[in-house]
Chains A and B, each alone.
Chain A
Amino acid sequence: MSGQGSAPLAPGAAWPAPGWIMRARRRWFGPSQPWWGFVFALPILVLLVCFKFWPMAYAAWLSLTNATLTDRAGHFIGIHNYARLARDTTFIGALETTGRYVGATIAVSMILGLALAVLLNQKVPARGLFRTLIFLPAVVPIIVVPILWQFLFNPYGLVNDALKVLGLQPVNWLLSPQGAVGALVVATAWRLTPLCMVIYLAGLQSIPGELYEAAKVDGAGAPRRFRSITLPMLKPTFLVVVVFAITLTVQNFVLALVMTGGGPDNASTTLSLFVYQTGFLGFQMGYASAAALVMLLIIVAFTMASLRAFRTEE
């Protein structure tokens, strides 16, 4: 990074402006013409402003109005939408469902993903083949996942067949409140686990092998090595996986929409599905935007919380 924009002023050049203007001018219009960097970034900036920042500001405004699909402007009604959310039992239910759904999905995919990563990090022949095959659920199109699992969770489907083989009672998965959320968790975790596994594997491979060698020489067994080397060294990776998994599960409503439609009786309506239903089926754009902002708040809060929880001491 030498030479770019840090060129000194030509000797004897007279700048009749105060220091900060001089510096700003140099950092924009210096001999290496740094302002070109902004020109390069401009096209994407324009698109992001139009289709990210503007909608975000628009959502914040809409959440304070009673806009509908037909009356797009609506009237300013202050925090009425938020007050209504706090009293809306469907919304509170959606919050609870999201909590259970996201919590269970993340727990399953993070633990299973780590187990798989540790397993597939062992030096055995053909482990590359196993890695490829286990990644395949993440390659299945997102729209196919709920269709496939709806079929598997059919009362006479494969999941209940497996339960019967194990001597358990078949469950009416998609038509019982607990079963519907459980089915969503399984379907989501099926697709999320391989993704988590890949991130963990990258983390595991970045741990220096000498650490394990040294621990072995000191007589540490495999469980001890896992607890004292692998887990602490994976701390930054855990953060990555948590944030990745939370963002993906909180926002996703395709699975709930296609598999259960939020039913039975809203038992599997997640927050993002609530936003979709309120906005696009109920046409209440203002109210839906308020719920969407709550969703954003949750994503940001969890991201911040996990950043704090998994911060490495540096």
Chain B
Amino acid sequence: MSARTAAVRPSPRRAAARVRAQAATAALLLLMTGVTIVFLMPIVWMVSTSLKSNQHVFDLPIQWFPAHPLWSNYPAAYTTVRFTRYFMNSAIVTASVTVLNVLLSALAGYGLAKYRFAGRHVLLVLILATLMLPLEVIMVPLYLTVQRLGWLNSYQGMIVPVAANALGVLMMRQYFLSLPDDLIAAARIDGAGHVSTFLRIGVPLAWPALLTVAILIFQSTWDDFVWPFLIISNTAKATVPLAVQTFQSAETSNFPMLMAVSSIASVPLTVLFFVFQRQIIGGVATTGMRH
């Protein structure tokens, strides 16, 4: 009733408040747009430069949208770097690490959440302690270990040492803790074994958590540069980040090509982000909570 009267004959005070609210919203939107432009400027500049010729890269005034975009830079960059091979290598390594990691995390998370064996807290703390241990701290001995195994320049060298990640265990354990024990107890009473209970009850119920872990691991493995960089010297086994770095050290000043290569290399993770935005942002927000 009051809304109707307000629509017919707005009181001056309420109208003023509405104008003020709209002005505040407009100011906020303006501010957000400004901040977004600043943050995205490097990315826009990367794409913009990738469409120029090398002699016009530093032209002033700045051309954000080249008048004659050189689309041919992209096929040229793709064939020069021979991306197909590196995308294949990255796909092999990333898929293997993701599958292994999700499987191991689900098993361990289930075991730690659904069984009360003595020492499970110690085991959990031991596993979580590895989160404080970045690769950079152990890269020297890890390299020597992998060298002793004869895994330098090999897929298994890129896959096995990074396949175990405590973060996945933590996330899976949290998820399994939230599942009621009765379901599992019921399956056990019906005579199902431990493994088949896990496969038939645990895994199907946990698929949202499995998906989140898979996406986060996929993303970080695809993006990983340091470990392949240390153990791969044979370009036949190189992943995309390695190929980009190799191209960069050979062609330091061919900026349009360099930016085209960078743009191509950015495509997979960008697509992944737009498809699984909710899981990725939620994952970042909660992985912080690991401590």
Q: Report A-chain residues with C-beta under 8 Å of the C-beta of B287.
A: 244
Q: Report B-chain residues with C-beta under 8 Å of the C-beta of A161.
A: 60, 62
Q: Report A-chain residues with C-beta under 8 Å of the C-beta of B198.
A: 40
Q: Report B-chain residues with C-beta under 8 Å of the C-beta of A140.
A: 43, 266, 269
What residue of chain A has the Cβ atom nearest to residue B103's Cβ? A43
Contact indicator B241/A148 (Cβ below 8 Å):
no
Contact indicator B141/A62 (Cβ below 8 Å):
yes
CA distance A45 to B126 in the complex (A): 9
Instruction: Choose among B31, B112, B185, B291 the residue that contacts A37 (Cβ–Cβ < 8 A).
Output: B112
What residue of chain B has the Cβ atom nearest to residue A295's Cβ? B137
Contact indicator A48/B127 (Cβ below 8 Å):
yes
Task: Determine, out of B1-9, B160-168, B207-215, the stretch whose residues face the partner at the interface.
Answer: B160-168
Contact indicator A41/B123 (Cβ below 8 Å):
yes
Q: Report B-chain residues with C-beta under 8 Å of the C-beta of A41.
A: 107-108, 111-112, 123, 127
Instruction: Choose among A198, A243, A279 the residue that contacts B291 (Cβ–Cβ < 8 A).
Output: A243
What residue of chain A has the Cβ atom nearest to residue B287's Cβ? A244
Q: Report A-chain residues with C-beta under 8 Å of the C-beta of B248.
A: 147, 258
For the complex formed, measure the closest distance between the CB of A120 and the CB atoms of chain B, giving whole angstroms: 7
A240 within 8 A of B: yes
Q: Give the interface centre of A50, A127, A303 by most chain B CB atoms within 10 Å.
A: A50
Instruction: Choose among A37, A152, A250 the residue that contacts B111 (Cβ–Cβ < 8 A).
Output: A37
Q: Report A-chain residues with C-beta under 8 Å of the C-beta of B169.
A: 44
Near B by CB (< 8 A), chain A positions 103-157 give 116, 119-120, 122, 124-127, 130-144, 147-149, 151-152, 154, 156-157
Contact indicator A55/B145 (Cβ below 8 Å):
yes
Contact indicator A141/B269 (Cβ below 8 Å):
yes
Contact indicator B138/A292 (Cβ below 8 Å):
yes
Contact indicator B225/A254 (Cβ below 8 Å):
yes
Q: Report B-chain residues with C-beta under 8 Å of the C-beta of A190.
A: 39, 42
What residue of chain A has the Cβ atom nearest to residue B230's Cβ? A280
A85 within 8 A of B: no
Q: Report B-chain residues with C-beta under 8 Å of the C-beta of A198.
A: 281, 284-285
| Contact A44 to B140, CB < 8 A, known contacts A134-B36, A141-B265, A296-B133 | no
Task: Determine, out of A3-11, A88-96, A224-232, the stretch whose residues face the partner at the interface.
Answer: A3-11
Q: Report B-chain residues with C-beta under 8 Å of the C-beta of A250.
A: 134
Contact indicator B42/A152 (Cβ below 8 Å):
yes
Instruction: Choose among A137, A147, A272 the residue that contacts B39 (Cβ–Cβ < 8 A).
Output: A137
Instruction: Choose among A122, A138, A142 the residue that contacts B28 (Cβ–Cβ < 8 A).
Output: A122
What residue of chain A has the Cβ atom nearest to residue B184's Cβ? A4
Main secondary structure of the interface of B (DSSP, over half): helix
Main secondary structure of the interface of A (DSSP, over half): helix
CA distance A42 to B241 in the complex (A): 33
CA distance A309 to B133 in the complex (A): 22
A276 within 8 A of B: yes
CA distance A226 to B104 in the complex (A): 43
Digitize A259-288: 1 where CB-to-B-CB distance is under 8 Å, 0 elsewhere.
000000000000010011001100001001
B41 within 8 A of A: yes
Instruction: Choose among A32, A144, A152, A272 the residue that contacts B244 (Cβ–Cβ < 8 A).
Output: A144
CA distance A119 to B34 in the complex (A): 12
Digitize B100-125: 1 where CB-to-A-CB distance is under 8 Å, 0 elsewhere.
00001101101110111111100100
What residue of chain A has the Cβ atom nearest to residue B242's Cβ? A143
Q: Give the interface centre of B45, B134, B136, B284 by most chain A CB atoms within 10 Å.
A: B136
Digitize B160-189: 1 where CB-to-A-CB distance is under 8 Å, 0 elsewhere.
111110100100000000000100010010
Contact indicator B107/A43 (Cβ below 8 Å):
yes
Contact indicator A139/B273 (Cβ below 8 Å):
yes
Q: Report A-chain residues with C-beta under 8 Å of the C-beta of B45.
A: 148, 152, 158
Q: Report A-chain residues with C-beta under 8 Å of the C-beta of B265.
A: 141, 143-144
Near B by CB (< 8 A), chain A positions 285-304 give 285, 288-289, 292-293, 295-296, 299-300, 303
What residue of chain B has the Cβ atom nearest to residue A164's Cβ? B60
What residue of chain B has the Cβ atom nearest to residue A196's Cβ? B288
Contact indicator A292/B136 (Cβ below 8 Å):
yes
For the complex formed, measure the closest distance between the CB of A57 and the CB atoms of chain B, giving whole angstroms: 8
Q: Report A-chain residues with C-beta under 8 Å of the C-beta of B132.
A: 247, 299-300, 303
For the complex formed, measure the closest distance between the CB of B214 and the CB atoms of chain A, giving whole angstroms: 16
CA distance A204 to B198 in the complex (A): 37
Q: Report A-chain residues with C-beta under 8 Å of the C-beta of B126.
A: 48
Digitize A1-24: 1 where CB-to-B-CB distance is under 8 Å, 0 elsewhere.
111111000000000000000001
Q: Report B-chain residues with C-beta under 8 Å of the C-beta of A156.
A: 58
What residue of chain B has the Cβ atom nearest to residue A161's Cβ? B62
| Contact A59 to B120, CB < 8 A, known contacts A43-B107, A127-B32 | no
CA distance A37 to B223 in the complex (A): 33
Contact indicator A44/B108 (Cβ below 8 Å):
yes
Instruction: Choose among A27, A33, A133, A139 the residue that contacts B194 (Cβ–Cβ < 8 A).
Output: A33
Instruction: Choose among A37, A134, A258 the residue that contacts B115 (Cβ–Cβ < 8 A).
Output: A37
CA distance A33 to B133 in the complex (A): 33
What residue of chain B has the Cβ atom nearest to residue A46's Cβ? B164
Q: Report A-chain residues with C-beta under 8 Å of the C-beta of B111.
A: 36-41
A58 within 8 A of B: yes
Contact indicator B137/A258 (Cβ below 8 Å):
no
For the complex formed, measure the closest distance between the CB of A244 and the CB atoms of chain B, giving whole angstroms: 5
Q: Which 10 A-B pairs have the closest CB atoms?
A: A37-B115, A40-B111, A47-B164, A58-B141, A202-B285, A5-B116, A34-B117, A251-B134, A240-B288, A55-B138
Besides A4-B116, A56-B137, A125-B25, 7 other CB < 8 A contacts? A27-B118, A36-B194, A40-B194, A44-B164, A62-B141, A138-B284, A253-B136
- Contact sample, A vs B, 5 pairs, CB 8 Å cutoff: A28-B118, A37-B116, A55-B138, A62-B141, A119-B28
